[in-house]
Chain A
Amino acid sequence: MSKGFQLMKGNEAIAEAALRAGCRFYAGYPITPQSEILEYMSANMADRGGVFIQGESEIASMSMLWGAAACGERVMTSSSGPGYDLKQEGISYLSSYNLPAVIIDVMRYGVGDGEITEGQDSYWLATRGGGHGDSRQLVLTPGSVQECAELTYEAFDLAEKYRTVVIILSDGGISQMIEKVVLPEPKEHDRSKFDWAIKGEKKKDEPKVKVTNLDRSMDYSAYDAMVRKKFSDMYHNEQRWENFMTEDAELILVAYGISSRICKSAVRRAREAGMKLGLIRPITAWPYPKKAFENLPEGLKGLVTVEMSLSSQMGLDIRLATEYKVPLYGYLTSKYVPTTQGIVDFCKGVLAGDVKELEVY
């Protein structure tokens, strides 16, 4: 790691970490609140010997990613809200040939055009397999500018390890805030090392690569087995989370991204008043960290999902992770960032028996 820190926006940390990870192709389309990523790439990509394209649309940008990823290049794009909708076609294609790529979704709140400010209601879109067909993508959720850098940097390695799309699920809060960050060391990527990638030149008798909707170097049953194993490996090996004061908690908050930061404050404030709160902070949203819920403290009265959504989206994953056995409550703040006191007061109500359990559907 580099010595010393600097102050950066979350979006800038994502972009710089990507460049340091060897990302040499970026195509994207501006949309708030992620445009700093595109702007940073426009200013810095050429100096690192890479390609930056401001695409004519999100769809075209994704198709460019498909082409560049097929060449073995480390590739990235970024979007938000309605723009991220348009990425789905490309995610499905990238997943069909198992091409590595990193896609940043800086969530903004609302349906349709919604708001340009932070939200957490695109969770389902990011975690349920992008686009049509049965696919899974790793989904990482940074909770700080430091994690924006670290998770993005690692995302490129994970993408290649599993030959998968990796989604960084940030939000307007995390991406727009300025914090200290220690950036990772720059490294170079060798795009010529993959036997599945298109090359710029090949001898007549060398095997040729055909990048299509299935990997035609194998038959259907081998393809199915490979992909199933990949999903299973990712699910079992990549569950990540942070426990925060959960050992003796009587009520555990569950939150990621911007909400998780407020939750930490709420845990501290509640404990000052004698209420034992804790926090489970998922760092992977897919695979959802089921293991985090396996050894919950005795005497736990329930879980509280804290989300900037209208109805709960992550709540369903918590229900599945706990097999519907642990009482679950929802503190859902839609377009408003949750407040520390709001969370504490809600939890008081839960412990007093004044709050109904969360229904997920």
Chain B
Amino acid sequence: MAAKMTKPEMINQQVGWCPGCGHGIIQRLIAECCEELGLCEKTIQVVDIACAYWSIDTLNCDGIAGPHGRCAAVATAIKKVYPDSNVYVHAGDGCSYVIGLSETCYAAQRNVPITMIVVNNGIFGMTGGQMCPATTLVGDKTVSSKKGRDDKVAGEPFDMLNILQNYKIAYAARGSLCDPKHIDQTKKMLKKGFENQRDKKGFSIIEILSPCPTNWKLSPADAMKKMKEENEKVFPVKVYVDNGGDE
């Protein structure tokens, strides 16, 4: 007899993302981690005003959305005011690596013990599928790179975790949602990020490769395939930093 599928109690209503989007899986993993670690009552979510914003009503915890790109700064302040709370960021690659690059770097530089979850879907989803300067692959077609991203004009995407591993932080890792095995691995990464925060070990960032079938203009299955065969080549799934930081 098949096991009965249940949703985490922390999720209190249906999510609003497109079919095949990875955000919903990430949302579920976040809720599972918080529940398994007994952190629900202390959790404060900081969501960006793009696609991640849809999670603000679905989790049973205090939450805040702020100016686009500033999640890391908002989370920094909340964590400083409530040091014993469980503050996590759920934001996209545009927020975290483009308009909010500085805020992300300085949350790492200060080694603020928050858990920052960055959804790398290689695109600006909420605004209709424009190129993401940080993560769109060279050659990928978007509504703002219609002939495919030209690296001579728009430069190349970059691996932000390569940069952040130079900071004194607790944890940096990249997961993927391309198959159940990788989803399980991603959950372990997220859990590590929340444990580090609970144990006041410093800044943890988990980037997650996540499909955007709507804006990639692919079926959900083909989007998963592209992610595994193309995006993971440029953005390898691995742990970059795992040193627990300093007390």
Binding site for B on A (CB under 8 A): 25, 27, 51, 53, 55-57, 59-68, 70-71, 73, 89-90, 93, 191, 198-204, 208-213
Contact = CB atoms under 8 A, between A and B. Distances in A.
B76 A53 contact: yes
A90 B68 CA distance: 11
B146 interface: no
B151 interface: no
The secondary structure that dominates the A interface is: mixed
Interface extent on B, as a size class? 20 to 34
B109 to A, nearest CB: 8
Contact of B77 (A66, A89, A208, A213): A66
Nearest to A56: B106
Nearest to B71: A63
Contacts of A200: 42, 44, 81-82, 84-85
Nearest to B61: A208
20 contacts: A25-B80, A27-B77, A51-B77, A59-B70, A60-B70, A62-B67, A63-B103, A66-B67, A67-B81, A68-B77, A70-B64, A89-B67, A199-B62, A200-B42, A204-B60, A208-B61, A208-B63, A209-B63, A210-B56, A212-B56
B65 A201 contact: no
A78 B77 CA distance: 16
Interface of B: 40-42, 44, 46, 49, 56-57, 60-67, 70, 73-78, 80-82, 84-85, 102-103, 105-106
A71 B75 CA distance: 11
Contacts of B40: 204
A137 to B, nearest CB: 17
Given A64-B77, A201-B82, 19 more contacts: A53-B80, A55-B73, A56-B105, A60-B73, A60-B102, A60-B103, A60-B106, A63-B73, A64-B73, A66-B70, A67-B66, A68-B77, A68-B80, A93-B67, A198-B82, A200-B85, A202-B62, A210-B63, A211-B63
A183 B119 CA distance: 50
Contacts of B67: 59, 62-63, 66, 89-90, 93
Contact of A198 (B64, B73, B103): B64
Interface centre among A25, A59, A213 (most CB of B within 10 A): A59
Contacts of B65: 210-213
